Amino acid sequence: MPGWGFSRTAPLFLAWVVCFATCNGSAEKQNTTSAPAGPVVNSVGVELPSDAAPLSEQMLMTFIEEPKTLDISLDNYGVKGADPWLFERLVMFDPDDIAGPGVADRWEPSPDGRKWTFYLRKDAKWSDGRPLTAQDFVFTYRRFLDPAEGNVFAFLFYDIKNARAFNHGDIKDRTAVGVRAIDDRTLEIETEGPCPYLPYIVAYNSAAPVPPHQVEKYGRRWTEAGNMVSNYTYKLTEWVYNKYLLYDLNPHYNGPHKARLEKLKLKFIIERQHPGITPYENNEVDRQDGISATDLGMIEQHPTLSTELRSNPHFQTWYLFFRAAAPPFNDLRVRQAFSHAIDREMICRVVLKGHGTQAYTMLPPGFSGYTGDRLKDIQKFDIEKAKKLLADAGYPGGKGFPTVEFWLRQADPNQMSIAQAIQEMLKQNLGVQTQLRNQEVGLYMDNMYKHAVPFSLIPYQYDYPDPHNMLSQVWHSQPVGHGRHDWKNTRFDEMVDLGGTTIDQAKRMGYYAEAERALVEDVGGVFIYHTHALELRKPWVKGLNKNAFGSDMFWGNRTSLMGVYIGDNVGKRVK
């Protein structure tokens, strides 16, 4: 992008993203192993590679949980990952996490870094053929910040001028939010201060535009089949409740990320329950994530499945957090004792069977600003130190320590196994008793934002590759209802605030390093492991290549998905 672009490590780069294109298929069973005569061209004119299966086979099938909604701008968790193919943001990430054109062809900041101007591409349209304009983004941003909408993820956009005040109800006038349309193709966003990572913010999934004409007509029902319009390479064709979503290519999409696959069929599994790998073995799906540790032994010994298993380090951190403002966790020594009582190596080696990386900081290895190698001794596994700290806090051998409710967010078998391992470590190493409570997602999130969860294991997966996301947006102190945790540390807040407004990249990373040290030393969280994303993928799913971090992860938030196609080695599938 002219002006300030963003790469993963240097926030002043531009990366033009020119994505691959994709293809479609019929719903009939077919076993096609011979190459088609002539090139395969999909319904939007994209020519597929020479080893592509016929057009009738160009449908990808995968499992997701059935969404509660497809309105990603208001409900990150309710969408269940069904959205990345439907909505193009102003800015999009390529496979290497480099920001490039989405709806905006280019963007540029003002000299003081407080105003960003985004120039929308010519003739961008919704899937119903209506023009997509800068006014649509103004409508979208004001809507997801409106306190009446109850969006618990509005805080992600508090860098926009008056966004926090409007969302908290301190300002009633929505036009005061720093987003305005200069004309149909020019959008200006004003921030509270210099904001070098703003292109990352507007690339986040929740920044997806919504169609004002459909929202005003149908309200929250605008995402239902028959009502929904989208602006990306696919459109919703069917939503068969309790069965599947079907997406077809969007003929009105004229952007740089046209897909190769003709159709996507997202089959539903029962919410958060592991389906096992039988459907995958039966070719009911082409890929399957959520592989449990209980399946790994069999998979890794299987002559075929072992070759189809993908394990990719991923920028996600699992950590324990506390209700730090209330006893017994308002005592730093108690939090420190917990941090030293957890054997992370055992969890990664035994429970995760090697598919995880020990965590001692929030930022994962390879992430911009990572300092974990320097800080790992602060929370290292040390039983004797843990016992002494707990005794110094007045609970020798756990005597007098209250039984703690240990909350989980609708844990799957993997997560439950890890929680049970932690529960046993706390019992054996500290004499502390915990009671596991596996809560439904909505109930859990409601209580978390009320700062009512006493003690919990939870992950945070990055949204964009900047420390602001995984440090400030997760750990900066917030009032009840607007942040994950009640932990507060003045030094941490000061450092992330400086990191978020400093243009010089080296200085920014220095501030974030100081912030993370404060987080680890004050035990805002106990960092357990960084995720390895596991999935089974059929050999005929092609077009995903390893990125700069060595990962060929099937990651829907990146434009790499648009390069996927079905190869001519496809087997007989159950569509």
Q: Provide the pLDDT for residue 279.
A: 92
Q: Provide the pLDDT for residue 31.
A: 43
Q: Is the predicted pLDDT of residue 5 greater than 90, yes or no? A: no
The residue among 242, 246, 156 whose CA lies nearest residue 197 is 156
508 three-class SS: helix
Cis check for the bond before 328: say yes or no (omega within 30 of 0): yes
Structural tokens at position 48: 């597929």
Average pLDDT over residues 80-93: 93
Structural tokens at position 301: 């010994």
User: What is each CA distance from 317 to 364, 457, 529, in whole angstroms?
Assistant: 7, 10, 6
H/E run at residue 505:
helix 505-521
Contact by Cβ (8 Å): 174, 142: yes
Average pLDDT over residues 232-254: 97
Count CA within 13 A, CB hemisphere, residue 296. 20
Q: Provide the pLDDT for residue 414.
A: 85
Query: Residue 226 — pLDDT band, cuts 50, 70, 90?
Result: very high
Please provide residue 252's backbone torsions phi and psi, each rounded to the nearest 5 degrees. -90, -5
pLDDT one-digit tens code per residue, 409-467: 999 888 999 999 999 999 999 999 999 999 998 899 999 999 999 999 999 999 888 99
Q: Provide the pLDDT for residue 162.
A: 98
* Residues contacting residue 524 through CB under 8 Å, at least 6 positions apart: 321, 324, 475, 485, 487, 489, 492
What is the rounded CA–CA span in Å between residue 561 and residue 569? Answer: 20
Contact by Cβ (8 Å): 63, 215: no
Instruction: Indicate the fold that domain 312-533 takes in CATH.
Output: Dipeptide-binding Protein; domain 3 (3.10.105)
Q: Is the predicted pLDDT of residue 17 greater than 60, yes or no? A: no
What is the rounded CA–CA span in Å between residue 232 and residue 120? Answer: 14
Q: How crowded is residue 504: how many other Cβ atoms within 10 Å of its Cβ?
A: 11
Looking at residue 552, its amino acid is D
pLDDT one-digit tens code per residue, 131-189: 999 999 999 999 999 999 989 889 889 999 999 999 999 999 999 999 999 999 999 99
Q: CATH assignment of 63-217?
A: 3.90.76.10
457 three-class SS: strand
Query: Residue 37 — pLDDT band, cuts 50, 70, 90?
Result: low
pLDDT one-digit tens code per residue, 353-382: 999 999 999 999 989 999 999 999 999 999
Query: What's the pTM?
Result: 0.82
Counts of helices then strands in the chain (DSSP H, E): 17, 21
pLDDT one-digit tens code per residue, 336-353: 999 999 999 999 999 999
**Cβ neighbourhood burial of 352 (10 Å; 0-12, 13-18, 19+):** buried
Q: Provide the pLDDT for residue 271.
A: 56
* Residues contacting residue 266 through CB under 8 Å, at least 6 positions apart: 61, 62, 63, 64, 82, 244, 245, 246, 247
Residue bearing the bigger pLDDT, 344 or 2: 344
User: What is each CA distance from 461 to 38, 311, 323, 451, 527, in whole angstroms?
Assistant: 43, 16, 21, 20, 13
Query: Residue 11 — pLDDT band, cuts 50, 70, 90?
Result: very low
What is the rounded CA–CA span in Å between residue 274 and residue 415? Answer: 12
Q: How crowded is residue 112: how many other Cβ atoms within 10 Å of its Cβ?
A: 10
DSSP string, 91-146: EEE-TTS-EEESSEEEEEE-TTSSEEEEEEPTT-B-TTSPBP-HHHHHHHHHHHH-
Q: Is the predicted pLDDT of residue 562 greater than 60, yes or no? A: yes
Structural tokens at position 436: 């596991």
Structural tokens at position 374: 């320097």
Query: Residue 30 — pLDDT band, cuts 50, 70, 90?
Result: very low
Q: Is the predicted pLDDT of residue 23 greater than 50, yes or no? A: no
Provide the angle, in degrees to the nearest 10, between the axes of the packed helices 332-340 and 413-430.
110
Domain borders along the chain are 63-217, 312-533
Contact by Cβ (8 Å): 250, 230: yes
Q: Which residues pair with 52 in a beta bridge?
A: 567
Query: Residue 12 — pLDDT band, cuts 50, 70, 90?
Result: very low
Q: How crowded is residue 551: how many other Cβ atoms within 10 Å of its Cβ?
A: 23
- Asked if the domains at 63-217 and 312-533 fall in one CATH topology, the answer is no
What is the rounded CA–CA span in Å between residue 360 and residue 338? Answer: 13
Q: Which residues pair with 537 in a beta bridge?
A: 287
pLDDT one-digit tens code per residue, 546-561: 888 878 887 766 888 8
Q: Provide the pLDDT for residue 530.
A: 96
pLDDT one-digit tens code per residue, 256-300: 999 999 999 999 987 555 678 999 999 999 999 878 777 888 999
